[in-house]
Structure 1
Amino acid sequence: MTKQTNYDVVIVGGGHNGLVSACYLAKAGLSVAVLERNSAIGGATRSKQVFSGLDARLSVYSYLVSLFPGKIVNDLSLNLKLRSRGTAS
């Protein structure tokens, strides 16, 4: 297998918007590379263990997940079911 070094599009940032953009561009037939400086992609959508010794994970983005546009789910044929929950204060 040869390593690809030329791409139609290079996206800098593997957060939500970069990943969605990459998916749309790839679906349109373009070759896409996503560059991310962190060890994992996802940006604010990733959850993190923030309390030492407590297995509770929090996400900066979790409160917005119910706003994820259904159009994107349909356009990209994602096997994803979005659920909402009440807010707690």
Structure 2
Amino acid sequence: MIVGGGHNGLVAAAYLARAGQSVLVLERLGTTGGAAISTRPFAGVDARLSRYSYLVSLLPDKIVRDLGLDFAVRKRTVSSYTPAVRDGRP
């Protein structure tokens, strides 16, 4: 049993499953991926934020190879920005 369906929990579950173990992943949120997902935090604003984006280069090549992962890093249209919230509004 893996408690937490974030990127680390999913990697652990994948390794256990590849080793022939039966795996159950429990996640309290409606989606898995944890910090590896991107979201649109502001209604009506076409901007996606990811807490993981700055770590993507740290994903070990061994994990990518072992699990047969395929992903691409895409350029953003906005080079960098910091969203500001004041009185609950962006």
Q: TM-score, normalised by structure 1?
A: 0.77
Question: TM-score scaled by structure 2?
Answer: 0.76
Aligned positions, number: 78
Unaligned runs of 5+ in 2: 82-90
> Which ranges of 4 or more aligned residues in structure 1 deviate by more than 2 Å?
81-85
CA distance in structure 1 between the partners assigned to 2:72 and 2:45 by the alignment = 27
Distance of aligned partners of 1:84 and 1:57 in 2 relative to their CA distance in 1, 3 Å threshold = closer
More strand by share: 1
Contact 1:66 1:84 in 2 (8 A): no
Identity of aligned residues (%): 60
| Selected match of 1:12 from 3, 11, 19 | 3
Residue 64 of structure 1 pairs with residue 55 of structure 2: yes
Name the counterpart of 1:76.
67
- Structure 1 stretches of 5 or more lacking a match? 1-9
**Displacement of 1:52:** 2.2
